[in-house]
Amino acid sequence: MSRKRRIFDINVPDEAVTPPTPSIKSLDERPAKRGPMASAIAENAEALTARKTAAEAIRAENDALAHEFVELREAGHVVQAIPLDQVHTFMLVRDRIPGEDLELESLMTSIRDLGLSNPIRVIPRPDGSGYELVQGYRRLSAYRLLHAEGQGGDAWATIPALILPGETDIAGLYRRMVDENVIRKDLSFAEMAHAAQNYAADPATEATDLPAAVAALFQSAPYSKRNYIRNFALLLDKVGEALNYPTEIPRALGLALARALKDAPEMAGRIKQDLAGWDNRSIKDELDVLRRHAGIEDLESLSADKVPEPAKKAATGKPGKAKTTFHIRSSAGQVKCTAGVGRLEIKVDRDFSSIDRAKLEAAIASLVDGLW
C-alpha cells in the first residue's frame, strides 16, 4: 500500500528577499570590547602622559627658579661662603682707627655662639685675585682671629659674604664702607673724621679738601653732624698722633677742644707734651688731660646735647661793627641777611610760622652750629 504525499502550498515571491544588512553606523555604535591586556596598555599610556606633563611643569619651575637665583646672585643678594684668604683690604683705607678694639672679643663670642647674622660685603678685585672688602672690617677681623685660634677645624676658614656687582668705583666704595656704620651709629666722630681725611687724601676720589670729603661721604647726615666731623678732623690734625684713645672722646669734649685749638693753636703743643712718654695711661687719664686743656671742670658736666661755648676773647677796646647786611640767593629766592652783635636776621618771602616747629628748630640749630 502506497503512502500518499502531502503537498503544501508555498507561495514563493518572484524576487528573492535578501536579509537586511546592518549599516556601518550601527556597527560603530556598538560598545567595543577590550581585553585585559589592551586595558592595561591603555592605562599605562595615560599614566606615562600624566607623568610627562608633571615632569615638564617641574622642569619649567626649576628653570624659572634657577634664572631667579642667578639674577639675585649677580645683584649681590645671595649669601655665599668665600675663603678668608681671598678677602683683601688693600683698595680702601679703613674707617676704623688703628688700635685696640675693646669690643672685638665680645663680637667673637657672639659669632662663635650664634653665628654671623650680618654677612660682610665684598666686590671682585679687578685683577681677579679674590675679593676686596667693602663693609664688615670688624666681622672679618673676628673671623680671622677665630680661625687663627685653631678651634673648630675649618669652620672659620670661610666667611658668609654678599658679592656686590658693578664696576670698581673708589668714591662709591668709601661711601658704602662708612654708610652702614653711620646708620647703625657704630662709628665714633673720630672715626668718621678719620674716614673723611683718608677720602680726601685718596687720589682716586674727586675730593680736594676735607669739607668736600665730608660732604661726599656723609651726604645723608644733617649739616650739624657734618660740622662735628669737620671739627673732629681738625682735632686729629692737631693732636691725633699723640692720642691713644681718640674714639673715646665724647662729642662735646671734642668740639670744645676743636674750638679751643682754633682760638689758640699753640695748645696742641702743650697737649702733646703732657701726653708724651705716658704709655700706660688709661682712657680716663687721657680724657682728663684733654678736658683740662679745654677748660672743662669734669667730664660729667658735659651734656650730650650741650656743647661748651669757647672762651670769650679779651676786649680790644675797639668798637665792634654795628651790623652787616648782605643778600644771598637760595632755592626760596633772594634772602636778605643782617648780622649784628648778638643778632642775626633773615628776611625772605616765606611765612615761617607755617613751618613745623621741630623742623624749624632743627634748621636753626644747624645754622647756629655751622657758625662756630
Taking only the tens place, the pLDDT of each residue in 282-313 is 888 999 999 988 888 765 655 544 444 444 44
> Could you read off the pLDDT of 123-151 as tens digits, one per residue?
888 878 889 888 888 889 889 999 888 77
Spell out the long-range contacts of 300-303 with Cβ–Cβ below 8 A and sequence spacing 24 or more: 302/250, 302/252, 302/253, 302/256, 303/252
Using an 8 Å Cβ cutoff, are 334 and 341 in contact? Answer: no
- For the ranges 171-175, 253-257, 360-364, the maximum mean pLDDT occurs at 253-257
**What is the mean pLDDT of the segment spanning 66-91?**
77
Place of cell 704709655: 279
What gap in Å lies between CA 324 and CA 317, rounded to an integer?
A: 20
Asked if residues 55 and 48 have their Cβ atoms less than 8 Å apart, the reply is no
What confidence tens digit (pLDDT) does each residue in 236-279 have?
Answer: 999 988 998 898 899 999 999 999 999 999 999 999 999 998 88
DSSP string for 302-351: -BTTBPPPPPPPPP-SPPPPSEEEEEEEETTEEEEEEEETTEEEEE-SS-
Angle between helical axes of 357-369 and 223-239 (0-180°, round to 10): 20
- Relative to beta strand 323-330, strand 158-163 is unpaired
Q: Residue 131: helix, strand or coil by DSSP? A: strand
Domain boundaries 53-168, CATH class: alpha beta
So what's the pLDDT on residue 19? 58
- By three-state DSSP, how is residue 289 classified? helix
AA letter at 334? Q
User: Which residues, in sequence order, are CB contacts of 276 under 8 Å at separation 6+?
Assistant: 242
Residues 285 and 291: their CA atoms lie apart, in Å, by: 10
Longest dimension (CA), the chain: 188
Distance between CA atoms of 259 and 263, rounded to whole angstroms? Answer: 6
Q: What is the dihedral of CA 111, 115, 121, 122, to 10 degrees?
A: 90
Tell the burial category of 211 from Cβ atoms under 10 Å away from its Cβ (0-12, 13-18, 19+): middle
Q: Is the pLDDT of residue 41 over 70?
A: yes
pTM of the model: 0.46
- The C-alpha angle with vertex 68 and arms to 64 and 71, in degrees rounded to 5, equals 140
Taking only the tens place, the pLDDT of each residue in 7-31 is 555 555 555 555 555 555 554 555 5
pLDDT tier, 318 (very low <50, low <70, confident <90, very high otherwise)? very low
The better pLDDT of the pair 98, 115 is held by 115
At 105 the pLDDT is 82
CA distances from 52 to 39, 41, 180, 282 (A): 20, 16, 50, 75
Q: Which of 173, 69, 179 is nearest to 123 (CA)?
A: 173
Domain segments of the chain as ranges: 53-168, 169-312, 323-369
Using 50, 70 and 90 to split pLDDT, how confident is the model at 320?
very low
Per-chain mean pLDDT for the chain = 76
Q: What angle do CA 187, 192, 196 make, to 5 degrees?
A: 155
Residue 312 in grid coordinates? 670769650
Structure letter (DSSP) for residue 80:
E
Distance between CA 192 and CA 214 in Å, rounded? 9
Which pLDDT value is given to residue 308? 47
pLDDT at 316 over 60: no
Q: What is the DSSP letter of 282?
A: -
Alpha-carbon span 41 to 247, nearest angstrom: 81
| Cell digits of residue 271 | 697737649
Query: Which pLDDT value is given to residue 314?
Result: 43
Asked if 75 contacts 115 with a C-beta cutoff of 8 angstroms, the reply is no
**Could you tell me which of 168, 119, 170 has the C-alpha nearest to residue 143?**
119
Q: What is the pLDDT of residue 84?
A: 92
CA distance 63 to 300: 64
What does the pLDDT average to over 3-9? 56
Q: Scanning the structure block, which residue is given the C-alpha cell 628653570?
A: 63
